[in-house]
């Protein structure tokens, strides 16, 4: 009796754990209609973090934030990233920045706008 109750508990715990795992895995992979869109969005998020880190380095040396072109000419960026269907822009002041990746591709479920600010928080709008 004790062993069968233990086996039933193990099966129940495994089922609950599997349910939560699949729910979480589903929420991570639902970015766009295709796997390529998911790959592109991940790459864009990495680009945004690299751009934000360049802004932070520039701020540490100059006491203000810079445009993407200023970051490139100053050497904080080797080049401004280019991705199919995405364009990057920056809105900066002396004390804050917001770098935006705008989507113009064919996938209707892809995020239309992904942004990062001086807090390094990535936000996604317009699915």
Residue 25 has pLDDT above 70, yes or no: no
Nearest CA to 95 out of 66, 75, 71, 70 is that of 66
Task: Note the pLDDT of residue 80.
Answer: 86
pLDDT tens column, 31-60: 778 888 888 999 999 999 999 999 999 999
pLDDT value of position 126: 65
Residue 43 has a pLDDT of: 94
- Identify whether residues 116 and 82 lie together within a single domain: yes
Q: Regarding beta strands 113-117 and 97-103, do their DSSP bridges make them parallel or antiparallel, or are they unpaired?
A: antiparallel
pLDDT of 9 over the 90 cut: no
| Whether residue 82 sits in one domain with residue 55 | yes
Residue 97's pLDDT is 96
- Give residue 27's pLDDT band: very low, low, confident or very high (50, 70, 90): low
Tell me the residue range of the domain where 16 lies: 1-30
**Whether residues 24 and 46 fall in one domain:** no
3 with 55, same domain: the answer is no
Residues 21 and 51 in one domain: no
The pLDDT, as a whole number, for residue 65 is 95
pLDDT digits (tens, 9 = 90+) for 69-111: 999 898 888 888 889 899 999 999 999 999 999 999 999 989 9
Of 116, 70, 123, 73, nearest in space to 96 by CA = 116
Q: What is the mean pLDDT of residues 24-31?
A: 62
Q: How many domains does the chain have?
A: 2
Q: Are 98 and 112 part of one and the same domain?
A: yes
């Amino acid at each position: 009796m004790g062993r069968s109750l233990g086996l039933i508990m193990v099966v129940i715990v495994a089922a609950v754990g599997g349910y939560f795992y699949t729910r979480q895995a589903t929420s991570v992979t639902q970015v766009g209609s295709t796997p390529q869109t998911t790959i592109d969005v991940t790459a864009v998020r990495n680009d945004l973090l690299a751009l934000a880190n360049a802004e932070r380095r520039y701020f540490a040396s100059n006491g203000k934030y810079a445009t993407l072109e200023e970051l490139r000419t100053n050497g904080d960026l080797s080049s401004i990233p280019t991705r199919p269907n995405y364009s990057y822009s920056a809105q900066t002041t002396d004390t804050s920045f917001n770098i935006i990746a705008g989507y113009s591709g064919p996938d209707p479920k892809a995020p239309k706008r992904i942004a990062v600010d001086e807090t390094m928080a990535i936000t996604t709008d317009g699915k």
